[in-house]
Structure 1
């Protein structure tokens, strides 16, 4: 290869190494004995799985993992359905106050999550949602970003295609599910990944709204390994983080083709 073509590949390789190094160090630390975790060796001198056995058997890690899976999956499905439906309605239907409604939805993106914590908690406390799955779930069931994203994609669907379906006798829900949704599947996949990642990694709200150990999510549970309960056992923290990142990698591998396609389509008319 010519030097001019080789330089971009070198830059990409260097960038990949920089991005992957924290994950490699995390995996390496999870395989080290407690007395070796501060050694600078990337490859452990005596690799062991004892940390994984201790995390899985001596803590409620499996329960925390299942809690995170339940919450992430339910919120992702809800976001995909409701955000796609609202985006379709705003993009393809004409009704009074449509633009105002869209502006109101967009305005929610300017409100920091930290400002919503107190209203969320007061509402949860009054309705008895604290220390429940529903209390963790409800803030993430619908997002303004998802509505905005799906509206932009829905606008690209030709009106003639939808009108032809109406002439053939299809009702609006059938048109939405059978005509509109397949046309914007790349955007739905990207939205699903964004939603799954954000809810899987959510820490502040689950920490505030839950009290019992059995309702902790993974980020909240892992934080207790660095508190008085586990005396900052870094080998356990790295082990739990290594296990918790596996579902994210699997989701991205399964849907990365749709993400790339969605990014490409955003620049097309």
Structure 2
């Protein structure tokens, strides 16, 4: 009787997918293992997943106290990622609110034009952006990168709009009867109901900015302005033969990404669940 209640094919599929997912985790596990070893033990074959001799603290000190200003690169990445992510959430949610809940002439046409801009590759606008930043005297500044990043919101505006369409307009009508204006509707109704999708946007945008290599490479010259991706390249040149220290630096580089996902994962899972119910 118990076997009839258990969906055996489903359990087998789940186990197989779990084992298959471990293949994608192996590089991460090896990186964590290497970060805790002495340099001579990193390339030992067969792989020692648990270090026989731990060198975790020495590798940690090498990363943060070396001649390469890793802490400065960390600060630069946090500054850029947090500022651009918060600005993206603000501008994208405001635009999505306008495209879904406000009635104005040419709304659908404007949204269609906005979506058509998504087909333009970012690489094709590098030269115009370079000339614009030079003209604004923002080349080789964090402000220039922030300006470009915070207004690159077409994809996220579309994502938020698709979610906000499902928010019933009756909420806004009731608020309007109570004398609420558009700003109050946006702040007190739309944003609280959009927490799941806002969390998703925050995670995606933060990861994009944190991992961005191309824009800082082109629009920054001064090494003291470098974010983590460019900083790791300098770190690689300094510790070319010490893979243990390089892996420790890589572990430190991905920690904020793990933290922001852990903090916002409940809202993301809630959004997925709501999407499944609506579907």
One fold, TM greater than 0.5?
yes
1:36 aligned to which of 37, 41, 57: 41
1:47 aligned to which of 54, 79, 84: 54
1:189-231 residue CA offsets vs partner (Å, 9 max, x unmatched):
111111111111111101111111211101110022333x443
1:156-202 residue CA offsets vs partner (Å, 9 max, x unmatched):
12222101111111111001100111111111111111111111111
The aligned counterpart of 1:61 is 70
The more displaced of 59-68 and 131-140 is 131-140
- Superposition pairs for residues 220-259 of structure 1, below 5 Å? 220-227=230-237, 229-231=238-240, 233-259=242-268
Q: CA deviation at 1:235?
A: 2.7
The answer on whether the counterparts of 1:64 and 1:216 sit within 8 Å (CA) in structure 2 is: yes
- Superposition pairs for residues 3-152 of structure 1, below 5 Å? 3-39=8-44, 40-49=47-56, 50-58=58-66, 59-142=68-151, 143-152=153-162
1:205-260 residue CA offsets vs partner (Å, 9 max, x unmatched):
01111111211101110022333x44354333211110111111111111112112
Separation (CA, whole Å) in 2 of partners of 1:258 and 1:19: 25
Q: Does 1:203 align with 2:213?
A: yes
The answer on whether the counterparts of 1:64 and 1:218 sit within 8 Å (CA) in structure 2 is: yes
Separation (CA, whole Å) in 1 of partners of 2:41 and 2:107: 61
The answer on whether the counterparts of 1:226 and 1:234 sit within 8 Å (CA) in structure 2 is: no
1:107-147 residue CA offsets vs partner (Å, 9 max, x unmatched):
23222222222221121122111221112212210311110
The answer on whether the counterparts of 1:83 and 1:146 sit within 8 Å (CA) in structure 2 is: yes
The more displaced of 120-129 and 82-91 is 120-129
Q: TM-score, normalised by structure 2?
A: 0.90
The answer on whether the counterparts of 1:136 and 1:209 sit within 8 Å (CA) in structure 2 is: yes
Q: Return structure 1 stretches of 4+ with deviation > 6 angstroms.
A: none
CA RMSD of superposed structures (Å): 1.8
5+ residue gaps in structure 2? none
Q: TM-score, normalised by structure 1?
A: 0.93
The answer on whether the counterparts of 1:146 and 1:191 sit within 8 Å (CA) in structure 2 is: yes
- Number of equivalences: 268
The aligned counterpart of 1:161 is 171
Q: CA deviation at 1:154?
A: 1.5
SS across alignment from 1:266: helix
1:54-98 residue CA offsets vs partner (Å, 9 max, x unmatched):
110012111111111111111111011110000000111122221
SS across alignment from 2:167: coil
The answer on whether the counterparts of 2:239 and 2:246 sit within 8 Å (CA) in structure 1 is: no
